[in-house]
Amino acid sequence: MSETETKALPTREELDERIRRAPYHRWLGLSVVEAGDGEIVVELPWREEFVVNPDVGYTHGGILATLVDLVADWAIATKLGRPFPTVDLRVDYHRPALKGTLRVRGKVIRLGSTFTTAEAYVEDEGGKLLASGRGTYATTTK
């Protein structure tokens, strides 16, 4: 490919197929529902295994942190073709995630040659914000 040619961005279908290659992602049940240049939307169906408090029935915070990390990372994949190792991650929890499909929106904030910053927002079926966060990813690794 010459310097004047640009590499085509991965399609939503390609990203959906690639995200499911990881066994953990398959177990979670992730599906890419939208993808564009630096942005992605992923859905996750609720599973009983996510529950941390059986009396209340809300999802463990580690699941929400996982979603923030991986969807922010896969937003980078919409621009660079693949995800990268996480260097730093910050997650804020806004309200409990109860039973229902989770929708996660990720977007690239700053694309860098060494480090890239992206963020993600986890919402419930009604669009209420459950968790949000920002990650830094090492985009220099091969």
Instruction: Say yes or no to pLDDT of 45 above 90.
Output: yes
CATH superfamily, region 12-138: Hotdog Thioesterase (3.10.129.10)
Question: Under a CB-based contact definition with an 8 Å cutoff, are residues 138 and 85 in contact?
Answer: yes
pLDDT, mean of residues 54-63 = 94
**Residue corresponding to tokens 């079926």:** 125
Instruction: Say yes or no to pLDDT of 76 above 80.
Output: yes
State residue 13's pLDDT score: 94
Question: Under a CB-based contact definition with an 8 Å cutoff, are residues 107 and 38 in contact?
Answer: yes
Instruction: Say yes or no to pLDDT of 32 above 90.
Output: yes
The secondary structure of 81-127 as a DSSP string is: SS---EEEEEEEE-S---SS-EEEEEEEEE--SSEEEEEEEEE-TT-
pLDDT, mean of residues 137-141 = 89
pLDDT, mean of residues 41-58 = 94
Q: Where are the domains of the chain?
A: 12-138
